[in-house]
């Protein structure tokens, strides 16, 4: 019987041996795609008033475009992963990025809300599958003991997008019109397709893949539990981040002009957590997952108190950003437990994080509307992290039971 690592090696190893420089270029190409997707997903948050005015809708209605994008991610991730599991990895990634680029170009030209909503749905469609397949490819480029670090390099683009891509594109959108931001993201998508074609080596798809076999991932308890860890345990990250602006301005009494600095600190935390967490995960994967969740509970519980301070509040936001370390570690865990349904399981990781986004923001909003105040998002996050610890403990107990 083949193990999951055998499946990864067979389906994700390049047909030629790469030098360290070639490997770095391949990982850079994949990371540029992550940068483009991260920028395209979040840049609209800073341009909602402009988009609403141009599309003749209210700002809350424009906010639905964010949810519609997330819906595209959740639906597109499993569907495209199932349909494309047999495709050569490089060709699949190029196709996904061309769809992403096209969706952003259409977003830049959409004349009304309906066409814009359809464009955002289409743009979100390849999001999860790209990250999933790119993670499989990245893991196949390096020795097994460096898998998580390679996956983290793909996700580094996403975290750098929050630090640089989003604020830069948002500023350009303010100066030259909000549609310009989507045109730029479309160009990044097209550039990624070119770089993947030039720098990522040929990797065959899984010749034995079929929709039924890929769907088999959903029958694996360990896959479901791993997705549950991400969907629940990382929800607090989004609970805090979704309401960080009003918390910092109304509770910490920071001037609005200082909010971009707070967001930049969050981005620094994401980059740091992604890089440091992946190194620990390659040494001890399960311990890293558990410790990151414990760290998340502590950091977000502390946010409830530090959010009143104009100094410690922003610093705590930086620490909240480090919780993104869960993403790469759970991506690697999925590789270990998905068996022969690697493509679907890998793509679903990012669907799970979009569920975490919706869950965290929703529960945070309930706490605020209940009169608990803006800092209560920290308690929501801490409770979700504790629930994630419980799901992880369940997954480990089930794994030991299966082996016993």
More confident position, 369 or 397: 397
Q: How confident is the model at residue 60 (pLDDT cuts 50, 70, 90)?
A: low
Q: Which of 197-211, 235-249, 254-268, 290-304 has the highest mean pLDDT?
A: 290-304
Highest mean pLDDT among 32-41, 42-51, 235-244: 32-41
Mean pLDDT calculated for residue range 163-169? 83
What is the per-residue pLDDT for 190? 97
Position 385 pLDDT exceeds 70 = yes
The pLDDT tens digits for 212-247 are 666 766 778 899 999 999 999 998 888 888 788 888
Does pLDDT of 269 surpass 90? Answer: yes
Q: What is the pLDDT of residue 1?
A: 40
Least confident window among 50-64, 71-85, 273-287: 50-64
The per-residue pLDDT for 10 is 47
Kindly state the percentage of the chain with pLDDT values over 90: 44
pLDDT of 9 > 60? The answer is no
Confidence of residue 287 (pLDDT cuts 50, 70, 90): very high
Structural domains of the chain, ranges and CATH numbers in brackets: 1-209 (1.20.1250.20), 216-404 (1.20.1250.20)
Residue 196 confidence (pLDDT) above 70:
yes
Condensed to tens digits (0 to 9), the pLDDT of residues 104-120 reads 999 999 999 999 999 99
Which pLDDT value is given to residue 212? Answer: 63
Considering the chain, what is the average pLDDT of its residues?
Answer: 87
Each residue of 366-384: pLDDT tens digit? 888 888 988 999 999 999 9
Sign of CA dihedral 133, 223, 391, 75: positive
Q: What is the predicted pLDDT for the residue at 186?
A: 96
The pTM assigned to this predicted structure is 0.80
- The least confident of 91-95, 210-214, 253-257 is 210-214
Question: According to the model, what pLDDT value does residue 84 have?
Answer: 83
CA distances to 11, 336, 344 from 214, rounded to whole Å, are 14, 15, 6
pLDDT of residue 12: 55
Question: What pLDDT sits at residue 87?
Answer: 86
């Amino acid at each position: 019987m083949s193990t999951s690592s055998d499946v990864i090696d067979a389906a994700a190893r390049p047909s030629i041996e790469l030098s360290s420089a070639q490997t770095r270029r391949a990982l850079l190409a994949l990371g540029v795609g992550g940068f483009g997707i991260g920028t395209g997903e979040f840049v609209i948050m800073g341009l909602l008033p402009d988009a609403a005015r141009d599309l003749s809708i209210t700002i809350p209605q424009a906010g639905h475009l964010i949810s519609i994008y997330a819906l595209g991610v959740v639906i597109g991730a499993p569907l495209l992963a199932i349909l494309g599991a047999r495709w050569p990895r490089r060709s699949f990634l190029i196709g996904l990025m061309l769809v992403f680029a096209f969706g952003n170009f259409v977003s830049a030209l959409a004349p009304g809300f309906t066409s814009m909503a359809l464009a955002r749905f289409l743009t979100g469609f390849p999001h999860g599958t790209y990250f999933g397949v790119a993670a499989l490819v990245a893991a196949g480029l390096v020795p097994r003991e460096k898998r998580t670090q390679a996956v983290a390099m793909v996700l580094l683009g996403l975290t750098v997008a929050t630090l640089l891509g989003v604020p830069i594109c948002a500023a350009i959108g303010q100066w030259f019109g909000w549609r310009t931001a989507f045109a730029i993201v479309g160009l990044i998508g097209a550039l990624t397709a070119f770089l993947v074609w030039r720098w990522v080596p040929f990797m065959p798809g899984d010749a034995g893949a079929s929709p039924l076999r890929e769907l088999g991932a959903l029958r694996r308890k360990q896959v479901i539990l791993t997705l549950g860890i991400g969907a629940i345990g990382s929800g607090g990250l989004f609970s805090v981040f979704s309401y960080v602006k009003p918390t910092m301005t109304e509770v910490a009494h920071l001037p609005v002009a200082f909010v971009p600095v707070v967001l930049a600190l969050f981005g620094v935390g994401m980059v740091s957590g992604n890089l440091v967490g992946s190194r620990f995960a390659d040494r001890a994967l399960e311990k890293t997952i558990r410790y990151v969740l414990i760290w998340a509970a502590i950091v977000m519980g502390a946010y409830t108190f530090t959010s009143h301070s104009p100094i410690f509040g922003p610093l705590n936001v930086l620490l909240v950003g480090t919780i993104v370390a869960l993403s790469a570690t759970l991506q690697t865990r999925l590789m270990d437990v998905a068996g022969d349904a690697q493509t679907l399981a890998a793509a679903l990781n990012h669907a799970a994080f979009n569920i975490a986004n919706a869950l965290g923001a929703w529960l945070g909003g309930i706490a605020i509307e209940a009169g608990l105040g803006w800092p209560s998002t920290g308690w929501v996050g801490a409770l979700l992290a504790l629930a994630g610890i419980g799901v992880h403990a369940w997954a480990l107990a089930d794994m030991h039971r299966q082996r016993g």
